[in-house]
Structure 1
Amino acid sequence: MVGLVSLVSVALFASSIWALPAARHSPPEGPLKLPLPDPGKNNLFCVVPFPVIQKLLCPRQGTSSQTTVTTPLGTAHGVSDTDGAARFAVKYGSASRWQESSVVSSWELPNGATDPTALPLTCPQNTTADSTMSEDCLSMILYVPPSVQSGSGAPTLMWIHGGSFIVGSATDPGLDGSALAAATESIVAVVQYRLGALGFMDPSGNTNLAVKDIVTALQFLQKVLPSFGGDTSKITLAGQSSGANMIRALLAVPSVSSLFQSGILQSDTMDYGFLNMDIQQTLQDFFNSQISCDPSDSECLSNLPLDDILNASQTLSDDGGDISAAAGLAEPIRPVNDGSFITSPLDSTAPFPQVSKPILLSTVLNEAMPTIYSEFTDPVDSSLYTTVVNVTFGTPRTERILTTAVYEVPQQTAAGTTVDARPQLSNLGTDQVWRCPTWTFARNWVQNGGQVFVGLYVVGATYPGNDQIPACLENGAVCHEDDIEIVFGTVPSPTSAQAALTQEMQARYSAFLRTGDPNTGSFAKWTPATTDDVHPLLLGGSGEASVGQCTTSYWGDFVQYDYQVFDI
């Protein structure tokens, strides 16, 4: 068996680097030389007539007036947007470096700000300027529409951003929750959490700090939601990519089950599984070797330069698959099944626990396309295709995959034509990492007591970064992250199909937040999954998706998932 070299081994491009505003990373054609905005302050690019730049650098413009709400933690200062929603940026938790977080004792604006229009600095990550990030980053942004402010008992959707656990923030493009809050008549809370080694690699061995940050955020909401008209028993966790992975981790934490009622998981990379303690220890030992402090020297660790930590974290992220084949190359830093906090792998490697929460699972049509077409910018011939599959899957999975019609080696169809196996690689990666393990998870959830609704987006909106990938711009393509702006209602100049799907998804989410069932109005019947048929609804299309190779006898059986191969 060759070490795990996933088809999405460069998923940092698909689910993290490309998730950032253009000014934070370097696209293939070279870096975009623009200064980063100072959160909460006017910026030159916010007043020039370039909509794309405004969208990337100025996602929260148009505030009109200040507003206050009295909470048990003190007076909340916010601003009312032009659409009427009130936005409150707040620090929800405090934590010393590599210590567990706790709920704040008083209402504070993020990062010591005095202006309620100020937005939180990001958690430390290698792709942002020092002036835009801070270790004091446990903040969230609450969006509260007028219909909720004047009433009580509204549900809350708490959104957890993606970014492969190493990048991202509550202010990423498209995450302005004003429209979503107004459409669903709910409170939308967009939360950020510690990333990379700061969130998962405490040198002393304590892990899952980032997951526990989300628990702290939930505990904060329990204290303040009634002041904004919210019902603390109606909190739904929602997130995309690693944000969805975070929700799956919390579903495996019995001690926090009472803090939320349901989950919405979009494009979770379920093939990877959680890490086990043996893999985590191997990664932890490597990380500790990269820093100049003894794990027991708390003073040294506290004074360690942030750049040293970020560099060591990046090295671990880059080399994770070489350090431990089971960790993989895509997300070697991720939640850990430690047996005490997270108590189950929630996959097919161990008995599945009894569950009860309703969940909604979705993937998009071309999840792996950004990765494949970024890694392979030229056509992939038959020989290279075979090599890639073999290096990725080893024996016996390669032989089984290549004898399957939809994944078999493409043949030249006419003299002079060029074989291009990238479509096969994209389909294979989508099935392997996202679609099929998600459907397997759905079956397991139903079999053990829960209700699940499964969807597949066949209409999307090109997310910033994906517009650098020609394949993602082709008619009908829906790439990883292209569902985000649909859900939030932040698509710039939406087509009629995009506008219709946004209206549908926001109506379905509104119903799900209240009842655990996304069926509402005159929209097509969304049938809940069973152990035999997951009934994947085509979101933006008509009817249900074909099963393809996501059957109980193929992925997870005839061809095992990575979490099965490596017993993680």
Structure 2
Amino acid sequence: MVAFALIPFILAGVSPLSSLAAPLEGLTTTTSLKGAPIFPPLNFGLLCQLPILKDICAREASTSTQVTTPLGVAKGVSDTAGANRFAVKYASATRWAASTVATKWELPNGASDASVLPLACPQPLADPSAYAEDCLSMILYVPTTLKASSGVPTLVWIHGGSFITGSATDPGLSGSKLAIATNSIVAVIQYRLGALGLMAPNGATNLAVKDTINAINFLGKVVPSFGGQASKITLAGQSSGAGMIRALLATPSASSLFQSAILQSDPVNYGFLNVSTQVTLQSTFNGLIGCAATNKACQTSLSVDAIIDAQVTLGNEANTTDPSTGVAEPIRPVRDGTLITTPLDLTAPFPSVNKPILLSNVKNEAAPTIYGMFQSAITSDLFAPVCDVSLGADRTAIVQASPFYNLNVPDTRVPLDTLGTDYMWRCPTWSLARSWVGHGGAGKAFVGVYVTGATYPANNGIAFCLEAGSVCHQDDIYIVFGTTPNPTAAQAALTKEMQARYKAFLTTGSPNAAGLSVWSPATTTTVHAHQLGGTPSPSGEVSVGACDPSFWGAAVDYDYQVYGI
């Protein structure tokens, strides 16, 4: 469905509407030329990289501190939330070449001031002074109580942004409160985005995935110096960040680098790209930049602006070129058979697994798209045409005839939101959980749904997301990090609960902790989706609805099944 598939673009500030065959009546957008919104959501992390604001942002930290590591002396600062903060360059890479792990401790972007935050990786709609190709950096948040012998876990956060936007300085990603609450080291990492990370002209695949592997390798070397234990690394991320983690779970060579994983709002429906689709996209991209696969001099001479312009064009045209790309994340990891070796879905035999995973969604994943596109209530006659754009006639007919999406309501945006959430996020996530627990003794999966959230800045312009009871895509980030501005009692309570559950999960592989309701692990038939926040249901779980295994994934195929990816 166009409405559901567009959400990562809207959140990233990129519009793929030009890829649609025809506009739908009642559809409204705020896009202008070159796919840029007239009023793009502010990325406060990127704003802090502007020269005029760097000093102001840096004042959030004071009191220098340092730690001796095997790679040299790590210089950091004590921030206002009570933890020590260290920014560091974890790897280096020339354009479209594989990155190499850093062999010495070095501040990002040649900085001499340890309080300065790293520049983001190049991305659309960002001020060029806020990013740099030399962007393989991370920020470590370390409780001041830790000693070298503490042996605490490390949580590695991978940001979202549809693989084309985002950074370690995105809103709400200050990890101090999370580190203190979980008694862990929190590392927020960056990786090459878009074409620079996933569309190398010479055909090299998954450079961004390899960047994250190098980030984990770097952490394994240094966290013992800060009080961490290299064998206790848990990956966590939201949206495409969760998709990156799924790619790492499908990478056998990365398996020994981390012990468990937390995936928040992963758009599992898309799956990984297959090799033939990647080749098609790569050929198109090479034509757009005017450089042959072997012409390294041409590739090196390109400006970053030219690369980003070609990337945006590729994203807008990808779905027409190859429908398996979808319209929201056409540039994404590819199952190349060497690094990523399994689709981790229903299309192929599932591999044996042994890691515990925690999978969560929010109640209204699709709401930013539905309510962002349709500014006022719409009637039921628009349900089928909206569905047909992404689902096609056959799947639309099955969905429309099912009892799961009630069209007898005054506003059809309500069932469209439910359907989009089920189709893109919730139901494919539950299918993944069932497969996961069916193929490994230690491979437990815990599934949850947020019914309480905190409005993320990208959702501030969407009236529905500001209504009481709405929990839109990204509204779980502030809750987990404990960075909600002026939290309500309900938000504060859920933050306390989730941080206690994450602390338990980092330590034991289970989110169950003393004083909290029991969170049952999924089985091959029942996922036991735990309700996170709100007034507890009698069972403490959310209803299955259309995520019954006989419906989505069986009666109605996911995109990865339709396109065989």
SS at match of 1:207: coil
Return the alpha-carbon distance in structure 1 between the equivalents of residues 43 and 179 of structure 2. Answer: 34
User: Aligned-pair distance for 1:149?
Assistant: 3.6
**CA-to-aligned-CA distance 1:135-190 (integer Å, 9 cap, x gap):** 00000000000122464211000000000000000000000000000111100000
402, 411, 418: which is aligned to 1:420?
A: 411
SS at match of 1:465: helix
**CA-to-aligned-CA distance 1:472-523 (integer Å, 9 cap, x gap):** 1111000000000000000011000000000010011011001101100100
Return the alpha-carbon distance in structure 1 between the equivalents of residues 41 and 128 of structure 2. Answer: 17
Q: Quote the RMSD (CA, aligned, Å).
A: 2.1
Residue of structure 1 equivalent to 2:468 = 475
107, 110, 118: which is aligned to 2:108?
A: 110
The 5 Å alignment of 1:71-110 reads 71-110=69-108
User: Aligned-pair distance for 1:43?
Assistant: 3.0
Gaps of 5+ in 1: 20-24, 47-57, 412-418
Indicate whether 1:224 and 2:215 are aligned: no
Cα gap change, 1:517 to 1:61, in 2 (>3 Å): farther
553, 556, 566: which is aligned to 2:553?
A: 556
**CA-to-aligned-CA distance 1:303-355 (integer Å, 9 cap, x gap):** 21111111001111122211111111010001100011000000000000000
**CA-to-aligned-CA distance 1:395-414 (integer Å, 9 cap, x gap):** 32111111112325446xxx
8 Å CA contact 2:121–2:192 kept in 1: the answer is yes
Return the alpha-carbon distance in structure 2 between the equivalents of residues 36 and 185 of structure 1. Answer: 28
The residue identity in structure 2 corresponding to 1:552 is P
User: Aligned-pair distance for 1:532?
Assistant: 1.3
Return the alpha-carbon distance in structure 2 between the equivalents of residues 264 and 320 of structure 1. Answer: 30
The residue identity in structure 2 corresponding to 1:91 is K
7, 10, 22: which is aligned to 2:6?
A: 10
User: Aligned-pair distance for 1:298?
Assistant: 0.9
Cα gap change, 1:473 to 1:144, in 2 (>3 Å): same
Residue of structure 1 equivalent to 2:333 = 335
TM-score (norm 1): 0.92
Residue of structure 2 equivalent to 1:502 = 495
Q: Which moved more, 1:242-251 or 1:295-304?
A: 295-304
Return the alpha-carbon distance in structure 1 between the equivalents of residues 191 and 525 of structure 2. Answer: 37
8 Å CA contact 1:501–1:540 kept in 2: the answer is yes
8 Å CA contact 2:11–2:458 kept in 1: the answer is no
Return the alpha-carbon distance in structure 1 between the equivalents of residues 189 and 384 of structure 2. Answer: 42
Return the alpha-carbon distance in structure 2 between the equivalents of residues 116 and 41 of structure 1. Answer: 16
Cα gap change, 1:403 to 1:121, in 2 (>3 Å): same
The residue identity in structure 2 corresponding to 1:521 is A
Residue of structure 1 equivalent to 2:236 = 238
360, 367, 371: which is aligned to 1:369?
A: 367
Residue of structure 2 equivalent to 1:43 = 53
User: Aligned-pair distance for 1:67?
Assistant: 0.4
SS at match of 1:75: strand
Gaps of 5+ in 2: 16-34
TM-score (norm 2): 0.92
8 Å CA contact 1:456–1:538 kept in 2: the answer is yes
8 Å CA contact 2:351–2:439 kept in 1: the answer is yes
8 Å CA contact 1:121–1:132 kept in 2: the answer is yes
8 Å CA contact 2:90–2:136 kept in 1: the answer is yes
Residue of structure 1 equivalent to 2:424 = 433
**CA-to-aligned-CA distance 1:253-279 (integer Å, 9 cap, x gap):** 001110000000000000000010011
The 5 Å alignment of 1:77-226 reads 77-149=75-147, 151-226=149-224
8 Å CA contact 1:264–1:359 kept in 2: the answer is yes
Return the alpha-carbon distance in structure 1 between the equivalents of residues 230 and 43 of structure 2. Answer: 45
Cα gap change, 1:34 to 1:482, in 2 (>3 Å): closer
User: Aligned-pair distance for 1:382?
Assistant: 2.1
Q: Which moved more, 1:397-406 or 1:255-264?
A: 397-406
Cα gap change, 1:409 to 1:497, in 2 (>3 Å): closer
User: Aligned-pair distance for 1:203?
Assistant: 0.6
**CA-to-aligned-CA distance 1:233-287 (integer Å, 9 cap, x gap):** 0000000000000000000000111000000000000000001001111111111
Cα gap change, 1:194 to 1:33, in 2 (>3 Å): closer
Return the alpha-carbon distance in structure 1 between the equivalents of residues 253 and 295 of structure 2. Answer: 31
Residue of structure 1 equivalent to 2:348 = 350
Residue of structure 2 equivalent to 1:566 = 563
User: Aligned-pair distance for 1:38?
Assistant: 5.3
Return the alpha-carbon distance in structure 1 between the equivalents of residues 44 and 438 of structure 2. Answer: 52
Cα gap change, 1:323 to 1:40, in 2 (>3 Å): closer
8 Å CA contact 1:13–1:370 kept in 2: the answer is no
Return the alpha-carbon distance in structure 2 between the equivalents of residues 36 and 563 of structure 1. Answer: 34
Return the alpha-carbon distance in structure 1 between the equivalents of residues 246 and 310 of structure 2. Answer: 27
**CA-to-aligned-CA distance 1:342-379 (integer Å, 9 cap, x gap):** 00000000000000000000000000000111122232
8 Å CA contact 2:43–2:171 kept in 1: the answer is no
Return the alpha-carbon distance in structure 1 between the equivalents of residues 385 and 246 of structure 2. Answer: 33
8 Å CA contact 1:18–1:464 kept in 2: the answer is no
Q: Which moved more, 1:82-91 or 1:136-145?
A: 82-91
Deviating beyond 4 angstroms after TM superposition, the runs of 4 or more aligned structure 1 residues are 25-38
SS at match of 2:457: coil
SS at match of 1:405: coil
The residue identity in structure 2 corresponding to 1:111 is N
439, 444, 455: which is aligned to 1:451?
A: 444
Return the alpha-carbon distance in structure 2 between the equivalents of residues 108 and 231 of structure 1. Answer: 22
